[in-house]
């Protein structure tokens, strides 16, 4: 009886592990195939359109979140730094926190919530309503037409939005630190200039690139293979795929964040 | 013997435990319209999806111009696939693209045509499908019938050699159904494509089909012409045709062919001894009406003639059914040929005086008649023999045809 339970348990773990490895492999191939198709003809218009949806239309929400994140950081760090009499370094601490860590992570999570979920839902609906099959019958490569422009747009948009988030976040820290709490204006910017190095900006940029690949691949993959889900069908499968895409993207952002950070510390 | 364009050789397809196609064998020939009929859920769409490669058989092979698809190189198959166009049952239109963009999509994405050329081709197709007013609208803003026509425009815009139509007339009104079927027949004649069609629109779909395939329990139970199908006395086919056909012809309001046959057998048919009656076969010759006034015109003329026949001969116990695109057979039980002749003359006069001038008004109103055309209605009478079946009556009445009404326009729009 106990042996049987152990066997079932091990089988279950084995099956799930194999499933994860299988999916990882499939997603990697999916990304590779879509990536090479970015450079095929007739892509520029589609990519620009996707940059508008993923990038330009996310800028307001990213800016808003960046502003309040910077303001909260300014407030919290001022409170902590005054205990050590070091409120003069507020600018550098706010900037480093944003550029190295919070900027890329929060931007990626915000884009996942806004554009990533939309990608999965849209592609999922195209799949279940046979529109992807229709592309096949018209000899239009669905990976080139649907997936490549989204991946390209994400790779272009993520670093730009991260930079926007960082800038507005630093401005938010300035509002609370300098305008509201009276930290010296010159010290705030001088410390940023002194302590923020190129490697810090590079970390943020690399993270933004890695997150863009992860989020766009996960979201497109979940939508594209919606019809293969075993747990649901039709519109229900689109909703489950969308939820899975957002959850998985957020988890992978945090896991990748740790891995990338460990290379630059 | 002619090599089939597409062949299924022992094709089997299963979905989990369910076998949809079970060692199915069929042949589709070039430049023909082949109609696949069968009950819902018997795998007609699955069959069509195998042709274009959306589904692959679990067993057996699909052969394209004599070469099995699974033995073709990727490039060869892509070349074959490039000749095929597919119209989906649920249209599969891109809901984020306008009607124009949907129709233009295959040209924009798969050809190197100039922008002007694409616009010209797309607008021409949109106009042919009477969609000019909605070209800027999105599919969700259109009725089901309009969406169907957009899907058809998209399927035809690349001038394909083979077109697979999955229920192209579903959701259309009787006139529109006939227009779509006429268009398929007309384009086939004009561009010489091969069409494979799934449709339940009996009898209209049979009038344009060269071959019919009946899919029954995963296999092809019948393949042949419409005449062969109707002559084949098989309970399964009879039951199936009856289940599709209904009681009335949707377009004209006349009896369906099956109902007509039953009624004929009850009144004058075999075993009815010395029952008397007369049969009249009406035939319409359209000349170039469709080219001048569009594909809907012949259908409207058939509809008008059907209604006239029904109104005129119905009250005296006559019953009628269409037996061809422009062919109506009327049986007048208990009426002698002499009495029938008198009725026919009166009917012809009314047709000439009332029905045909209505067409004249239509052509003047539309302002489209730049060329002249004739519409000729002929009729032939016969007295059904006690052993005659319907085909024999049609043959006999067909030999006695004479003109009973004629519409002939002149360049000023008048008629003679």
Tell me the three state secondary structure of residue B85.
strand
Q: Is A26 on the interface with B (CB under 8 A)?
A: no
Reduce the secondary structure of A81-137 to three states and give it as a string: HHHCCCHHHHHHHHHHHHHHHHHHHHHHHHHHHHHHHHHHHHHHHHHHCCHHHHHHH
Binary contact (B92, A136; C-beta < 8 A): no
Q: What residue spans define the domains of chain B?
A: 6-245, 257-408
Question: B166 — alpha (psi -120 to 50), left (phi > 0) or beta?
Answer: beta
B199 versus A238: the higher-pLDDT residue is A238
- The pLDDT of residue B136: 95
**Residues B228, B234, B236, B241, CA torsion sign:** positive
Question: In 3D, which of B308, B402, B292, B312 has the Cα closest to residue B357?
Answer: B308
| Chain B environment of A134 (Cβ under 8 Å) | 86, 88, 92-94
Tens digit of pLDDT for each residue in B149-192?
A: 899 899 999 989 999 999 888 877 777 787 788 878 877 877 77
Could you give the angle at which helices A103-111 and A198-224 cross, rounded to 10 degrees? 20
User: Considering only CB atoms, which chain B residues are within 8 Å of A145?
Assistant: 109
Q: What pLDDT is recorded for position B274?
A: 54
- In this prediction, residue B339 carries a pLDDT of 85
State whether B105 and A138 contact (CB < 8 Å): yes
In the prediction, which pLDDT does A152 show?
Answer: 97
Is B93 close to A133, i.e. CB distance below 8 A?
A: no
> Between the CA of residue B287 and those of B11, B136, B307, what are the distances in Å?
44, 35, 21
What DSSP character marks residue B157? T
The model's pLDDT over A209-220, given as tens digits with 9 standing for 90+, comes to 999 999 999 999
- 8 A C-beta contact, residue B265 and residue B387: no
Distance from CA of A139 to the nearest CA of B (A): 7
Measure CB to CB from residue B52 to each of A122, A137, A140 and give the nearest one: A137
Cβ A131–B92 below 8 Å, yes or no? yes
Q: Count CB atoms within 10 A of the CB of residue B373.
A: 19
Give residue A160's pLDDT. 97
The per-residue pLDDT for range A69-95, each reduced to its tens digit, is 999 999 999 999 999 888 889 999 999
How many residue pairs from chains A and B have C-beta atoms closer than 8 A?
47
- pLDDT-flagged residues of chain B (< 50): 413-416
Higher pLDDT, B390 or A36: A36
Burial bucket for residue B367 (CB in 10 Å: 0-12, 13-18, 19+): exposed
State the Cα–Cα distance between residues A195 and A200, nearest whole angstrom. 9
Cβ separation B54–A137 shorter than 8 A: yes
Which of A23-37, A175-189, B232-246, B311-325 shows the lowest per-residue confidence on average (mean pLDDT)? Answer: B232-246
Residues A126-169 have pLDDT tens digits of: 999 999 999 999 999 999 999 999 999 999 999 999 999 999 99
Same fold, B6-245 and B257-408: no
Nearest CB partner across the interface for B82, out of A130, A136, A139: A139
Fold of B257-408: Alpha-Beta Plaits (3.30.70)
Closest CA to B90 of A237, A125, A143: A125
| B chain contacts of residue A133, beta-carbon cutoff 8 Å | 54, 88, 92
The DSSP 8-state label assigned to residue B353 in this structure reads I
What residue in B sits closest to A127 (Cα-Cα)? B92
Pick the closest to residue A204 from A57, A61, A97, A66 (CA basis). A97
Please choose, from the candidates A138, A158, A175, the residue with its C-alpha nearest in 3D space to the C-alpha of residue A219: A158
Nearest to B110 among A122, A131, A139 (CB): A139
The alpha carbon of residue A134 is apart from the nearest alpha carbon of chain B, in Å, by: 6
* CA–CA gap between residue A170 and residue A69 (Å, rounded): 9
Is the CB of B85 less than 8 angstroms away from the CB of A137? yes
Q: What is the pLDDT of residue B170?
A: 81
Put simply, whether B15 touches A (Cβ < 8 Å) is no
**What pLDDT is attached to residue B347?**
83
| pLDDT score, position B408 | 73
Give the model's pLDDT for residue B310. 81
pLDDT, one tens digit per residue, over A42-71 is 899 999 999 999 999 999 999 999 999 999
**Complex-level ipTM:** 0.81
Closest CA of chain A from B245, distance in Å: 30
Q: Which fold has domain B6-245?
A: Rossmann fold (3.40.50)
User: What is the rounded average pLDDT of the residues A16-29?
Assistant: 92
Closest CB to B109 among A42, A130, A137: A42
The predicted pLDDT at position B366 comes to 52
């Amino acid at each position: 009886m106990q042996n049987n339970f152990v066997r079932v348990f091990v089988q279950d773990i084995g099956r799930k592990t194999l499933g994860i490895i299988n999916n990882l492999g499939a997603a990697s191939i999916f990304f590779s195939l879509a990536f090479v198709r970015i450079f095929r003809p007739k892509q520029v218009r589609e990519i620009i359109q996707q940059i508008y949806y993923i990038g330009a239309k996310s800028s307001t929400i990213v800016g808003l979140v960046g502003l309040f994140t910077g303001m909260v950081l300014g407030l919290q760090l001022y409170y902590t730094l005054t205990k050590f009499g070091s409120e003069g370094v507020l600018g550098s601490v706010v900037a480093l926190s944003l550029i190295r860590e919070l900027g890329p992570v929060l931007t990626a999570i915000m884009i996942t919530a806004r554009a990533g979920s939309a990608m999965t839902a849209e592609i999922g609906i195209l799949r279940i309503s046979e529109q992807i099959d229709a592309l096949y019958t018209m000899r239009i490569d669905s990976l080139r037409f649907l997936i490549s422009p989204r991946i390209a747009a994400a790779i272009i948009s993520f670093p730009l939005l991260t930079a926007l988030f960082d800038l507005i976040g630093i401005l938010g820290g300035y509002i609370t630190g300098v305008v509201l709490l009276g930290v010296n204006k010159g010290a705030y910017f001088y410390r940023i200039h002194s302590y923020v190095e190129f490697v810090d900006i590079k970390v943020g940029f690399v993270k933004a690139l890695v997150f863009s690949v992860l989020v766009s691949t996960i979201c497109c993959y979940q939508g594209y293979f919606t019809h293969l889900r075993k747990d649901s069908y039709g519109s229900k499968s689109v909703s489950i795929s969308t939820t899975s895409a957002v959850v998985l993207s957020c988890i992978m952002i945090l896991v990748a964040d740790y891995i990338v950070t460990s290379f630059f510390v | 013997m002619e090599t089939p364009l597409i062949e299924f050789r022992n094709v089997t397809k299963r979905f989990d435990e369910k076998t949809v196609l079970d060692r199915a064998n069929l042949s589709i020939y070039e430049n023909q319209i082949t109609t696949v009929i069968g009950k819902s859920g018997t795998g007609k769409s699955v069959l069509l999806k195998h042709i274009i490669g959306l589904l692959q058989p679990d067993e057996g092979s699909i052969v394209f111009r004599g070469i099995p698809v699974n033995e073709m190189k990727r490039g060869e198959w892509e070349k074959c696939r490039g000749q095929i166009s597919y119209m989906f049952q649920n249209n599969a239109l891109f809901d984020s693209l306008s009607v124009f963009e949907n129709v233009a999509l295959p040209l924009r994405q798969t050809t190197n045509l100039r922008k002007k050329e694409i616009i010209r081709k797309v607008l021409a197709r949109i106009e042919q499908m009477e969609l000019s007013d909605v070209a800027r609208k999105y599919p969700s803003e259109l009725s089901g019938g309009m969406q169907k026509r957009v899907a058809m425009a998209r399927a035809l815009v690349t001038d394909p050699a083979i077109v697979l139509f999955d229920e192209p007339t579903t959701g259309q009104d009787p006139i529109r159904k006939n227009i779509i079927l006429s268009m398929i027949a007309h384009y086939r004649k004009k561009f010489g494509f091969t069409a494979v069609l799934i449709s339940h629109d009996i009898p209209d779909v049979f009038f344009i089909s060269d071959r019919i395939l009946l899919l029954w329990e995963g296999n092809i139970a019948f393949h042949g012409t419409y005449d062969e199908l109707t002559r084949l006395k098989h309970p399964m086919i009879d039951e199936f045709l009856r289940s599709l056909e209904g009681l009335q012809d949707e377009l004209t309001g006349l009896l369906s062919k099956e109902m007509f046959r039953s009624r004929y057998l009850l009144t004058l048919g075999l075993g009815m001894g010395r029952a008397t009656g007369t049969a009249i076969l009406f035939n319409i010759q359209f000349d170039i009406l469709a080219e001048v006034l569009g594909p809907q015109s012949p259908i409207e003329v058939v509809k008008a003639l059907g209604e006239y026949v029904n109104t005129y001969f119905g009250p005296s116990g006559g019953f009628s059914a269409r037996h061809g695109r422009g062919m109506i057979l009327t049986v007048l039980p208990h009426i002698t040929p002499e009495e029938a002749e008198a009725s026919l003359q009166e009917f012809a006069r009314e047709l000439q005086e009332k029905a045909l001038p209505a067409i004249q008004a239509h052509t003047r109103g539309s302002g489209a008649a730049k060329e002249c055309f004739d519409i000729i209605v002929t009729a032939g009478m016969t007295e059904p023999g006690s052993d005659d079946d319907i085909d024999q009556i049609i043959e006999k009445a067909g030999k006695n045809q004479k003109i009973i009404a004629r519409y002939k326009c002149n360049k000023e729009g008048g008629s003679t």
